[in-house]
Chain A
Amino acid sequence: MDKCQTSIQKNKNLSRRDFIKTTATTAGVATIATGITLTTYVNAAGENPVTNEKRWGMLIDTNKLTEVDIDDMVNACQEEQGWGNEAHSTGNQKAGWIKKVKVKDKATDRISNLALMCQHCDQPPCVDVCPTNASMKREDGIVLVDRHLCIGCRYCMMACPYDARSFVHEALTDQKEHMPRGKGTVEACTMCVHKVDKGEKPACVEAVDSDAVIFGDLHDPTSKINQTLKRVQSTQIRADLNLNTGVRYSGI
């Protein structure tokens, strides 16, 4: 009570000049302090610049991967990223970030099942053709679409050799907070970049309960994916295009 009265007393005694001075200082400090707070927050969130020291990749072993595994991968992706429940889109209009593909060898009739998604190329044709730089590749090899720059021209979908991209054909609701999607823009597998940046694995990798799908840093000689790729024979889909994909397959 006393303190309060003293404060009022003091305020009464403030000259106009003092008042302006105090206000200006307070405003200045507040502005700078906000900046400091923001910077601190960013650093605390661990958003260090992504560098090309790492290259995220995936190895899918089609000999170990069961059809149930693939269904689990697709479901996990849909759950994580919130696609696949488009109400109005039909057939090929629906989003398909990852899909189950079954192929038969023409000579031997051997059947292989695999999960097909964005292959996160080192030389991505989608990034080359995008007129507005909306399609982009992070330094760590993850290929993404900037939904703020995408004008929906679909040229990236013409250029992608893997049919990996989808165009949002309708207005959407109930989107995931980490994965905003927008009508009229193009989208694809993000390699669960929001999880990877937190040190987690992509949802589809987590969904498989064996080492049929290995995720990791292709460049790190101690990583499981690097060591496995050194040991087993693997391939890239459309290796002839020389795109140096981040997703590799063995057993096909």
Chain B
Amino acid sequence: MSIIRYEQTQGKSLGFYALIAGLGAFILAALGSVYFMEHNGHHVTGMSNRIVWGLPHVFALFLIVAASGALNIASIASVFNKKIYKPLSRLSGLVALALLAGGLMVLVLDLGRPDRLIVAMTEYNFNSIFAWNIILYNGFFVIVGVYLWMMFERRMNKYSRKVGIAAFTWRLILTTGTGSIFGFLVARQAYDAVIMAPMFVIMSFAFGLAFFVLVLMASYKWTQRPLGDAIVNRLSNLLGVFVAAVLYFVAVYHLGNLYLAENAGVESFILMDGGIYTQLFWYGQIVLGGVVPLALLYSPATKGNRSMLGLASVLIILGGIAQLYVIIIGGQAYPMELFPGKEMLEGYGGIAAYTPTLAELMLGLGGIAVALIAIAYLVKFLPFLPESLADDVADPHHKN
């Protein structure tokens, strides 16, 4: 294998500044939304005492889940010793950290009292999976930071595998924790299923890789660096496997629920008569986020086509946001079963209404913008990207 040379991007072009300005505008809009929401209180949002977590949580959890998945490329290289992925490891670590930062920003700024973040950092209830998540998120920054250092510093390269294993283990625990935020909620019909934890892990594989593929292809295209088919086609195949795995977990989750009479109500709500949630589930999550990307990635007509891979990745991300919308909002909209065997006439029950506001949407998009701006700037200041990923550099044994 030839020596990989990493180099900063120039970041002086008009395109670069246009990108930064565009992302900056989204971030400003997000901060404005936060001021609006926090100044007035959450009554200006679509959230209520029934839908306590709204659109910001959809984006925040999407980004946090994708963050741990984006680290997979580095893990495959260091933990599973696949050399072809090694040149991508630095970028993989960077995308992971950037996505997590964006997700946490949204999560924190949607708190009722974001000014009390210090309380969350100093008061821990170790029975709470949420408190564990705070520790896991902070630890992820530290471990991936150290991991990047091991990769950047030649003297430390020899430790990168060990740290890589630690980071891989940590990220599996982290996403298990994120899924368990819902899996451990015994009171709600849509949650209370331990399969949520592994399902979130596999969702992270797909969402994180889709995001990574888009960042990789865009940065090589915009900096006019060579990016060979050897790497891209492998990533494409891997992405397809992950998308299929997500569909499998979704099928098992719903089949398992359907078997239990107590969950018949919530299942028919999500799968059949839940209005927007049913549409988002079938058209958004399953068709656009699952079936179409699989067809694009594997059908002979589109296989190997970069634009189609890009389109598939965008669809996987949109499908992932739809999936989290159905899980988070749909799961809350369906009422809890307070009195099994009885019909609720007054006081509680019915499907809770939720209409997201522009402020909530802008806060969520701001999280994505923060992640992207962090990536754009850091590849300019540190050598994250190999100057070439042409086939003869990335994989000398590759045969066209």
Q: Which residues of B contact A165 (CB under 8 A)?
A: 49
Asked if B343 and A104 make an inter-chain contact with CB atoms under 8 angstroms apart, the answer reads: yes
Answer whether residue A150 sits at the interface, using C-beta atoms and an 8 A cutoff. yes
Binary flags per residue of A177-196, CB closer than 8 Å to B gives 1, else 0: 00000111110000000000
> Could you say which of A105, A128, A151 contacts B127, with CB atoms under 8 Å apart?
A128
Contact, CB under 8 Å: A157 / B49:
yes
> Is the pair A107, B185 in contact by a Cβ cutoff of 8 Å?
no
**Does residue B15 face the partner (Cβ distance < 8 Å to A)?**
no
Interface size on A (CB < 8 Å)? 61
By the criterion CB–CB under 8 Å, are A92 and B332 in contact? no
| Chain A residues with CB below 8 A from B124, complex form | 131-133
Q: When each residue 26-53 of chain B gets 1 if its CB lies under 8 Å from chain A and 0 otherwise, what string results?
A: 0000000000001011110001111111
B348 touches A (CB below 8 Å): yes
**A contact residues around B259 at 8 Å (CB):** none
A158 located at the interface, meaning its Cβ lies under 8 Å from any Cβ of chain B in the complex: yes
Contact indicator B187/A183 (Cβ below 8 Å)? no
Contact A170 B112 (CB under 8 A): no
Q: B185 to chain A: closest CB distance in Å?
A: 6
The dominant DSSP class at the A interface is loop
Chain B window 71-113, contacts with chain A (Cβ cutoff 8 Å), 1 for yes, 0 for no: 0000000000000000000000000000000000000000111
What residues on A are CB-neighbors of B123 within 8 Å? Answer: 131-134, 149
A102–B345 CB distance below 8 A: yes
**Are A151's CB and B111's CB within 8 A?**
yes
CB contacts under 8 Å to A, within B125-169, are: 125, 127-131, 134
Interface string of A125-153 (1 = CB under 8 A from B): 10111111110000000000000011111
Instruction: Check A102–B346 contact: CB distance below 8 A.
Output: yes
Q: Give every chain B residue within 8 A of A112 (Cβ-Cβ).
A: 342
* Shortest beta-carbon distance from A127 to chain B in Å: 8
The answer to whether A101 touches B41 (Cβ under 8 A) is: no
Find B187's partner among A103, A152, A160, A184 (CB 8 Å cutoff). Answer: A160
Contact across chains for A167 and B52 when beta carbons are under 8 A apart:
yes
Contact B43–A161 (Cβ < 8 Å): no
Whether a CB of chain B sits under 8 angstroms from the CB of A30 is: no
The reply to whether the CB of B171 lies closer than 8 angstroms to some CB of chain A is no
Instruction: Flag the segment in B114-122, B269-277, B316-324 that touches A.
Output: B114-122
Q: Provide the bound-state CA to CA distance between A252 and B341, in Å.
A: 11
A residues less than 8 Å from B339 (CB atoms): 103, 237, 252
Contact residues, A157-213 vs B (CB, 8 A) = 157-163, 165-171, 182-186
Query: In the complex, are the beta carbons of A158 and B53 less than 8 A apart?
Result: yes
Tell me, in angstroms, the Cα distance from A182 to B51 when the chains sit together: 20
A112 to B347, CA, bound (A): 12
Interface residues of B in 282-326 (CB under 8 A from A): none
Tell me if A155 is interfacial: C-beta within 8 Å of chain B. yes
**Selected contact of B128 from candidates A99, A104, A130, A149, CB within 8 Å:** A130
Q: Is chain B's binding surface mostly helix, strand, loop or mixed? A: loop
Chain A positions within 8 Å of B131 at CB level: 131-132
Contact A93 B49, beta carbon cutoff 8 Å: yes
By beta carbon, the residue of chain A nearest B50 is: A92
Q: Are B346 and A150 in contact (CB under 8 A)?
A: no
Closest to B345 in A: A102
B344 an interface residue at 8 Å Cβ cutoff? yes
Cα A20 to Cα B186 in complex, Å, equals: 67
Q: Give the CA-CA distance A165 to B113 in the complex, in Å.
A: 17
Cα-based distance from A162 to B65 in the complex (angstroms): 29
| Chain B interface residue count, Cβ-Cβ cutoff 8 angstroms | 49
Is there contact, CB below 8 Å, between B130 and A92? no
B250 contacts the other chain (Cβ, under 8 Å)? no
Q: Which of A103, A112, A133 has the most CB of B within 10 A?
A: A103
Interface residues of B in 152-198 (CB under 8 A from A): 181, 184-188
A170 touches B49 (CB 8 A): no
A241 CB-CB contact with B under 8 Å = yes
Task: Please give, as numbers and ranges, the residues of chain B lying within 8 Å of A100 by CB-CB distance.
Answer: 346-347
A186 to chain B, nearest CB (A): 7
Do the beta carbons of B352 and A107 come within 8 Å of each other? Answer: no
**Contact between B347 and A116, CB atoms less than 8 A apart:** yes
Q: Does A111 contact B (CB under 8 A)?
A: yes
In whole angstroms, how far apart are the Cα atoms of A95 and B49 in the complex? 8
Q: A55 interface residue, CB < 8 Å from B?
A: no
B352 and A92 within 8 A (CB) = yes
Residue from A89, A93, A105, A182 in contact with B342 in the complex, judged by beta carbons closer than 8 Å: A105
Nearest-Cβ distance from residue B178 to partner chain A, whole angstroms: 13
Q: B residues within 8 Å of A by Cβ? A: 38, 40-43, 47-53, 111-114, 116-117, 119-120, 123-125, 127-131, 134, 181, 184-188, 332, 336, 338-339, 341-348, 352-353
A contacts, CB < 8 Å to B: 86, 88-96, 99-107, 111-112, 116, 125, 127-134, 149-155, 157-163, 165-171, 182-186, 237-238, 241, 252
Residue contacts A-B, CB under 8 angstroms, 30 given: A86-B43, A88-B41, A92-B48, A92-B49, A93-B48, A93-B49, A99-B348, A101-B338, A102-B344, A102-B346, A103-B344, A105-B342, A125-B185, A128-B128, A131-B120, A132-B125, A149-B123, A151-B113, A151-B120, A153-B120, A154-B52, A155-B130, A158-B53, A159-B185, A160-B187, A161-B336, A163-B348, A166-B49, A168-B112, A184-B112
